[in-house]
Every structure is written in structure tokens, then in C-alpha cells.
Amino acid sequence: MPAMPPAHWDLFCRVVDNLGDAGVCWRLAAALGRRGVAVRLWIDDPGPLAWMAPEGAAGVTVRPWSDPPPDGEPGAVVIEAFGCDPPPGFVERMARRTPPPLWINLEYLSAEPYVERSHRLPSPQFSGPGAGLTKWFFYPGFTPATGGLLHDDAAVDEAAARAWLQQQGWGPAAGERIVVVFCYRNPALPGVLALLALRADRPTRLLVPPGPAQAQLAGLPLPAGLRWTALPHLPQADFDRLLAAADFNLVRGEDSFVRAQVGAAGAFLWQAYPQADGAHAAKLEAFLDRYLAGAAPGVAAVVRQAFRGFNALAPLPATWPAPAAWQAVHRAWRERLLAQDDLCTQLLRFVGSR
Ligand code: TRH
């Protein structure tokens, strides 16, 4: 294993469930690598990377999570994703390093107000293996008062994405819409598909990545005008192309949710990661408040109802929101997000300021 340059960064990722932990961490590591940072990505379940990142990325070394890491001298920056707590043996080494590494906790994405209040707050460690160190909270978000979103590679060439889709054999027939269906098991999915089918003038090809949606569709009689194709797992760069090539995206969780906003011209519906205490409902409303802030009241009301319906928090609207009006909302929102510094830029600036 080549010796790491002194200025390397360590990024810790614990795969809790689904794909977002690995997905967000891989996207961040690759983005840092593009900026010339040498990143060691410590991940407890590297399995998904075999298909998500088959070719690796410049500057990124993937290491199996172990405690303590055999040769893990901490780098200049240590990022723990989603509060995953690096191995205690590694944290002890952090406390012994001179100067101590900058320790960052990269939090989950939310549009809720607490994010702006909490972003960049210090958390001095008074006990445990990291006693004496300070951990800093770094919150992704949708406003300049947050850490921003990962979008430094979101300049999308839609024509290239559609050509790629055609090459895979997943392109549209004449007049067909392409809709990606990447959601959790969703009781509202039949209703959303029925709304899509109402546009009889626009037959629809559903492209369905692996996961609960494939299983749900396999048992679902489809309305006329809809057909579906089960996709294999794709490298993350191809998954991004898939969203970029679609006319409309049904997405979930965190990373595909962000990608549908910054890396796709088509509008989307988002199924938030369902939480037993219902906290995902507040996350959804907070996002919609921002996303729809500039929309005409009539459009905002029906789009909000479509999001709420897709999260089974309210009935779906009787008809699909007017596509052109929704598209205009999406385009304005996307331009606003792309005009803000991306998360990688903000992270590098934060590190440089410490
Ligand atoms: O898989 P998810 O539901 O992940 C979730 C969320 O991240 C949520 O915030 C978290 O709390 C939970 O995991 C534990 O959805 P998400 O966030 O969209 O992540 C999917 C990732 O997988 C994304 O980076 C895209 C990638 N992906 C591919 O690269 N290729 C594929 O074929 C598929 C299906 C996904």
C-alpha cells in the first residue's frame, strides 16, 4: 500500500442500510479527489462500491474499516459521515497527532431551520478517546448559510445522457416519456402511476433501478400507456446519467434526491426516508417551503400535494400538476442551487480557515 502524502484526509463511512451512506461518501471522496485531495475512504461494507464505483476515482483509496486501522496515521482532516464515530483506536491517534486533525462530522441533509443554526458549530470533546479534540458540525443544505450540496460535476449534457440511454436499449419509443422510479416500498406508487397514465397523449416508459420499487412493480397491473424495465445496478456516474436523461424522476433518501435537483432537467417527486417518529414529514415540509417559495400559489398547492401524496402523508391530487409550470419551478430551483458554492468548495474553504 503506497504511503499516503502527509496532507491526506480520512473519510469514515458506516453503511447503515440502503445505499445512501456509501453513495454520499463515494461522491464526496471522488469530488475531493478531483480537487487534488488524497482521500482514504474507510468503509465497513465496501460491497456496494464494487458496482457503484468499479473504476475507483483519482486520489481515493478505499480501506476496510478496522479498529484500530493497521497503518492508520490520521490525516490532516478526518470526516465522519452521518455521525458514524470512527474506531476508538483511530480517534486515540487523532488525539496524539500534532497538530491534531480537523475533525468534521458531515451531517444528514435537511432543509429545516435548525441546519443553518447548527452548521459549523464546534463540539469540544471532554471525554473518551478524543478528549481534548474538537469535532465540528458540517451541515449540507439548500442555502448559503449551510454547507451546500455536492454538485461540482452536475453540469449535465442531456443530449449525451439520452444518447447513453439509447445505447443501453432503455431509450423512449416515439412520443414516450422516460420516468425513473427509485423509491422505497410505497403505497402511493400505484396512484402516482395512474396519474402518469392520465396523460394518454404521452405514453411512459418506467426505468426501475434495483430495490423495493422493482419488487412492487413486478406485482402491479400497469395502467394503459405505461411499460416498465427493470434495470441492473449501475455505476454512480451512469445512475447520474439515468436521472439526467429522464423526463421525470421519482427519487428517495438523500443522494438521488440531491442529484434529481442539481443534475437533471426534468422535475421530480421525492420519497423521504421513512422514520418511525414521523420526522420525515417535517423534513418534507421544510424542503417544500423552500422549493415552492417562488411558485404561483395554484401550482405550489398541487405540487405540494403531489409530494405529500407520494410520501403517503395525504391523498394524491386528482390530476398531475401542470408539467410546464412544474418544470419552470424545477428549473428556477436548480439554477438557484447551482449558483451557490458546492459542498466540496465549502468544505475546502472551512478547512483552509481553521
Ligand atoms: O439508498 P437510499 O435510500 O439511501 C438512504 C438515504 O441516503 C438516507 O438519507 C439514509 O438515511 C439511508 O440511506 C440510510 O437513497 P440515496 O440517498 O439516493 O442513495 C442511493 C445511492 O446509490 C446514490 O448515491 C445513487 C447510488 N446508486 C447507484 O450509484 N447506482 C444504482 O444503480 C443505484 C440504484 C443507486
pLDDT over threshold 90, residue 208: yes
pLDDT over threshold 90, residue 7: no
Q: What pLDDT does 3 receive?
A: 47
pLDDT over threshold 60, residue 221: yes
Question: Quick check: is 44 catalytic?
Answer: no
- Express as a percent the part of the chain with pLDDT over 90: 90
For residues 190 and 303, what is the distance between their CA atoms, to the nearest angstrom?
18
Residue count (the chain): 354
For residues 120 and 143, what is the distance between their CA atoms, to the nearest angstrom?
14
How many Å lie between the centroid of ligand 1 and the Cα of residue 20? Answer: 3
Mean pLDDT on 338-353: 95
Mean pLDDT on 116-133: 97
The DSSP line for 126-180 is: -SSTTTT-EEEEE---SSTTS-----TT----HHHHHHHHHHHT-PPPTT-EEEE
Confidence of residue 6 (pLDDT cuts 50, 70, 90): very low
The catalytic residue among 21, 80, 255, 342 is 21
Question: Quick check: is 254 catalytic?
Answer: yes
Amino acid at 41: L
17 lines ligand 1 (CB under 6 A): yes
For residues 202 and 91, what is the distance between their CA atoms, to the nearest angstrom?
56
**8 Å CB contact between 257 and 333:** no
HSE toward the beta carbon, residue 284, CA cutoff 13 A: 25
Mean pLDDT on 183-199: 94
Structural domain boundaries in the chain? 8-147, 158-338
Greater model confidence, 72 or 115: 115
Q: What pLDDT does 132 receive?
A: 96
pLDDT digits (tens, 9 = 90+) for 330-343: 999 999 999 999 99
Q: What pLDDT does 58 receive?
A: 96
Q: What pLDDT does 4 receive?
A: 45
Which residue minimizes the CA distance to atom 23 of ligand 1? 23
15 lines ligand 1 (CB under 6 A): no
The catalytic residue among 107, 240, 254, 255 is 254
For residues 232 and 249, what is the distance between their CA atoms, to the nearest angstrom?
17
Was domain 158-338 assigned CATH 3.40.50? yes
DSSP secondary-structure letter at 202?
S
pLDDT over threshold 90, residue 201: no
**8 Å CB contact between 204 and 196:** yes
**8 Å CB contact between 249 and 178:** no
pLDDT over threshold 80, residue 223: yes
Mean pLDDT on 122-135: 97
How many Å lie between the centroid of ligand 1 and the Cα of residue 349? Answer: 27
Q: What pLDDT does 106 receive?
A: 98
Cell numbers at 329, concatenated: 419551478
Range of lowest pLDDT (28-42, 145-159, 180-194, 288-302) = 145-159
91 lines ligand 1 (CB under 6 A): no
Peptide bond into 74 cis (omega under 30): no
Q: What pLDDT does 154 receive?
A: 67
CA angle (345, 350, 354) in 5-degree steps: 150
Q: Which helix (H) or strand (E) holds 309?
A: helix 297-310
Mean pLDDT on 19-43: 96
Tell me which residue has cell 414521523: 278
23 lines ligand 1 (CB under 6 A): yes
Outline where 7-122 has alpha helix (H). Answer: 20-34, 49-52, 88-96, 114-118
Confidence of residue 149 (pLDDT cuts 50, 70, 90): very high
**8 Å CB contact between 150 and 260:** no
Cell numbers at 88, concatenated: 476508538
pLDDT over threshold 90, residue 111: yes
pLDDT over threshold 60, residue 328: yes
Q: What is the mean pLDDT of the chain?
A: 94
